[in-house]
Amino acid sequence: MKMLGGDLVALWGEAASVIWLRTQRIAQGGPEAMAEAGLMVSEKIAAQQDLLGKLATGKLGKTPIAIAANSTRYMLEGVRANRRRLSRG
pLDDT value, residue 1? 55
> What count of other Cβ atoms lies within 10 Å of the Cβ of residue 14?
20
Predicted local distance difference test score (pLDDT) of residue 52: 97
pTM: 0.88
pLDDT tens per residue across all 89 residues of the chain: 568 899 999 999 999 999 999 999 999 999 999 999 999 999 999 999 999 999 999 999 999 999 999 999 999 999 999 999 999 97
- Maximum C-alpha span of the chain: 46
CA 19, CA 67: separation in Å to the nearest integer? Answer: 25
- The CA distance from 32 to 46, in Å, is 21
Numbers of helices and strands, H then E, in the chain? 3, 0
Distance CA 23, CA 21 (A): 5
